Structure 1
Amino acid sequence: MTPTYYEFFAGGGMVRAGLGAGWRCLLANDFDARKCASYRANWGGETLVERDVRDLQASQLPGLADLVWASFPCQDLSLAGVGAGLAGARSGAFWPFCGLIASLRMEGRHPPLLALENVCGALTSHGGRDFAAICAALAEQGYRFGALVVDAALFAPQSRPRLFIVAARADLPLAPALLGDAPAPLFGTPALDAAFAALPESLRSQWLWWKLPAPPARNATLADLIEEAPTGVDWHEPAKTRALLEMMSPVNRAKVEAAMATGRRMVGALYRRTRYGAGGEKLQRAEARFDDIAGCLRTPAGGSSRQIVLLIEQGRLRSRLISARETARLMGLPEDYALPPRYADAYHLTGDGVVVGVVRHLAAHLFEPALAAMRARRAA
């Protein structure tokens, strides 16, 4: 039987790409018109509902989904945000989403599995109270739950740690192979340990330590994804590249010099960030990395949040903005994935998404085995 799902805050459908053809989408929902246009361009629009989650009713959700995925907005939970947390206008969209799950439960249609994705700041927001509130909301709707921190760098050459909360309906039989007694290797952090320890006993008793295996070693590096002549972006003039070097601290300048000293072709990544000097003054710094992975793609609020590619070849350093297609590759999207024609829209789409390989790994090793056990029990 083909498993089914709803995808909330769907963006361009990266969860759909990760779940793959072996799953059937019953409903995809987003309120952003440009993201919805990308979703239609890649997946068609027959299951897409372009509407704010606050305006949806359970009666508009068809059938019974095996999985409900929600990558709810992260801005108010992010360390780069203003700290509004789940009370914020954006991350607070979690509450109407949770209301839909409650309505489905009233109708006997709440899904066996829930998956929530957000930034790791959700663990520490408001001293851990927001994380506890999420767990309490899941428990109230009859779910047991656990969390994993998965860095996309295990699957694609991008540093992108994200929090994944996976909840199973309390009546769902779970094979012992899916569960452990502690965080799975590679998928736990001190912040996750602290967030769990801070939960009240009533919520810790509902906790599941998901047992997720390590993926195969990643083969691709950042250099494998970079184009010599990308579409939509140009290599900087030498003066602009020199200006970036001048914005670097001695530590970051040394990274560039070390990469040039190898005598090999080297590809790195750079972000411009606001830092504080010794006197408390704000300084704009250029921070580079040459460790074969890109920095985390972020939704661009301005030019400083757009990642820059650094290329060292034959003793020469060049720089440019990362291209839209390169960002799609960093998210694990296929080459035929249709991106928005405007650069800013494409960067927004990919920077807000979920890495495809992470979704596939969760599906293969958690969702699909859990649903198979459920069906086997019903058939017995």
Structure 2
Amino acid sequence: MFAIQEKQNKSTFTFLEFFAGSGLVTYALKNFFKAVWANDIDKKKSIVYKENNGSRNFNLDDVKNINGGNLPRVELSWASFPCQDLSLAGLSAGINGKRSGVVWEWLRVLDEMQHLPPILVAENVEGLMSSGGGNHYRVLHEALRSRGYKVGAIMLDAALWIPQSRPRIFVIAIKKGINIPSKLISESPTWLHTKSIIKVGNDLHDWIWWNMPVPPTRKKDLADIIEWDAPCDPEDTINKTISLINPRHFDKFISENILVAPGYKRTRNGKQVLELRFDGIAGCLRTPEGGSSRQYLVLKHEGKIKTRLLTVRETARLMGAPESYKFPGSYNDGYRAMGDAVAVPVARYLAKHLLANLATLNSDQALGGFYDNSRGTLQTII
């Protein structure tokens, strides 16, 4: 006679993190997956990673030098591969470009492993789906299919959890043969799928419409995460910065109940301007490769209008990192560590509502388990 035992999500699942950067994914997934190996080529970001997540399992090296035969067996492999060649701000070299093309090195390493991980995640910008008419994604999709995976892509914007506009594509692949419960998938697009994703996904084989619950409404706006006691610019710099603001934007800032407005310096019609936004969220953080990529704040504080750059701690808060997260190095080092990262609550939500369930499914089905739709729980025959 069989007894039924409920299987709970465990933090003992393991994963490999490629292009790990400053370690926010490792931190976000820690209650669901343990990072047993992580890699990045950037020395400064590796210092941030090690300071916050330990150095034991971190490998500082070019992914081209990694031998998959030396990596442990895991449930998940995560790759936040470089976005420059897929970004609208980049040169649009695409997924075979010099920088974004290192995604193929990730797959080469996986091919060398004795056991392919049952779950893969590749994270990148929206251009992965939208640029090139979706052909950049199609190439990646077919590469994953050829390795025995079913695949689906979703878009998650960090603004659902934290006051930063940061839409990102998450490609989630699972080995064929693993039975996926109905609550994790849909027969048609959901809130997770943009027009670009729908256009591409409708034409592909072994495509999955992933599904997750809609998160609760975000409670914090940009003003709630500001370090109000941080030093501001000197008066002459403030006046110069204000002069770059469109007069209508400045009038709106002055006349309405707006405490802080973020903005980026841009060139419009040959003239430098500071474009502000008034929706209570910051623009997408970028890396400080030149002054124009750093985000400015215009604030009403102590009866005056002031300006300054975002602080490193504010960038950390905009990524959902804890107050205890450490940033050794310069201002630019800290800003870059966050600008290239994955927002913590986004990765955590994905792990909680999808990835950990898939890992448990893989574990249970390998042991002869099954999913009980009537109870909404995973069952194991013992």
TM-score normalised by the chain length of structure 2: 0.90
Q: Which runs of 4+ in 1 moved over 3 A?
A: none
Q: Deviations over 1:174-232 (max 9, x none)?
A: 111100022222x22122222324x4xxxx220000012111111111111111223xx
- Aligned partner of 1:241 among 238, 242, 245: 238
- Aligned partner of 2:259 among 266, 286, 303: 266
Distance 1:87 1:379, change over 3 A: closer
Determine if the alignment matches structure 1 residue 74 to structure 2 residue 83.
yes
Q: Separation in 2 of the partners of 1:314 and 1:254?
A: 23
Structure 1 range deviating more: 334-343 or 123-132? 123-132
Q: How does 1:156-171 map to 2 (within 5 A)?
A: 156-171=162-177
- Aligned partner of 1:28 among 38, 41, 60: 38
**Identical aligned pairs, as a percentage?**
39
Distance 1:195 1:243, change over 3 A: farther
The match for 1:196 is 201
Answer yes or no: is the 8 Å Cα contact 2:32–2:356 preserved in 1.
no
3-state SS of paired residue (2:336): helix
Q: Deviations over 1:1-23 (max 9, x none)?
A: 51110000001111111112342
Structure 1 range deviating more: 285-294 or 187-196? 187-196
CA RMSD, Structure 1 to Structure 2 (Å): 1.5
3-state SS of paired residue (1:174): coil
Letter of the 1:38 counterpart: V
Letter of the 1:271 counterpart: Y
Structure 1 range deviating more: 304-313 or 74-83? 304-313
Aligned residue pairs: how many? Answer: 358
Q: Separation in 1 of the partners of 2:34 and 2:309?
A: 37
Distance 1:181 1:288, change over 3 A: same
The match for 1:174 is 180
3-state SS of paired residue (2:214): coil
The match for 2:297 is 309
Determine if the alignment matches structure 1 residue 254 to structure 2 residue 269.
no
Letter of the 1:217 counterpart: T
- Aligned partner of 1:138 among 119, 123, 144: 144
Determine if the alignment matches structure 1 residue 355 to structure 2 residue 343.
yes
Q: How does 1:36-115 map to 2 (within 5 A)?
A: 36-62=46-72, 64-104=73-113, 107=114, 109-115=115-121
User: Runs of 5+ in structure 2 lacking a partner?
Assistant: 1-9, 369-382
Letter of the 1:131 counterpart: Y
Answer yes or no: is the 8 Å Cα contact 1:269–1:307 preserved in 2.
yes
Determine if the alignment matches structure 1 residue 368 to structure 2 residue 356.
yes
Q: Deviations over 1:80-122 (max 9, x none)?
A: 0011112221101011111112222xx2x11111001000011
Q: Separation in 2 of the partners of 1:184 and 1:165?
A: 15
The match for 1:286 is 274
Deviation at 1:375, TM superposition (A): 2.3
Q: Separation in 1 of the partners of 2:328 and 2:190?
A: 37
Q: Which has the higher contact order (CA 8 A, sep 6+)?
A: 2
User: Runs of 5+ in structure 1 lacking a partner?
Assistant: none
The match for 2:224 is 224
Deviation at 1:265, TM superposition (A): 5.6
Distance 1:314 1:12, change over 3 A: closer
Q: Separation in 2 of the partners of 1:359 and 1:132?
A: 24
Determine if the alignment matches structure 1 residue 209 to structure 2 residue 209.
yes
Letter of the 1:16 counterpart: T
Q: Separation in 1 of the partners of 2:232 and 2:302?
A: 16
Q: Separation in 2 of the partners of 1:177 and 1:160?
A: 26
TM-score normalised by the chain length of structure 1: 0.90
Letter of the 1:9 counterpart: F
3-state SS of paired residue (1:124): helix
Deviation at 1:128, TM superposition (A): 2.1
